Amino acid sequence: MTREEFEVYLSHFNNKRYEAATSYFAPDVTLEFCTTPGGDPGDARTLHGVQAFIAQYQSLHANVHEVVELRDFIPGEDLIAAEMYTEFHALNDAPDFPRRPLKKGESMVMTNWVIYNLEAGKMKRIRIAHFRMHDSKTAKYAPGSLGN
């Protein structure tokens, strides 16, 4: 997968076109992530399959505007490594937000590293590792900034 193809995938994700975004996935995709900064293993979660991914993000995006920006991108035949700058903006109170509860109007900004294992050109296994938090005052994407 090229950087340009990956950017199209991210555009689908950022604009909540879940069916289009998940067309890049293998049917049995897994998504692994921790819900707390620092990666406490007790807070690790794994989503199994396309429908679990869609359900997770529809639920999250009901209360939180998320924008992911691709920074470094290292493609390989069966593996992609990416540095992702991510902003979350609470549209409503989000008491169940994975990292910590967010109140309406609050923002959270972070950088994560993501490893994508590919199978037959599709994302088979996605692992998200938290790298660092940023001051929320540095956020640059307001809700609606991507036309959504």
**3-state secondary structure (DSSP) of residue 145:** coil
Domain locations along the chain: 3-138
> Tens digit of pLDDT for each residue in 44-66?
889 999 999 999 999 999 999 99
> Could you report the per-residue pLDDT of 113-148, keeping only the tens digit for each?
999 999 999 999 999 998 999 999 999 987 755 444
Provide the 10 A C-beta neighbour count for residue 72. Answer: 10
Placement of tokens 């999250």 in the chain: 60
Taking the C-alpha atoms of residue 38 and residue 83, their distance in angstroms, rounded to an integer, is 16
| pLDDT score, position 44 | 80
pLDDT score at 148: 46
pLDDT at 99 over 90: no
Predicted pLDDT at 100: 84
Q: What is the CATH number of domain 3-138?
A: 3.10.450.50
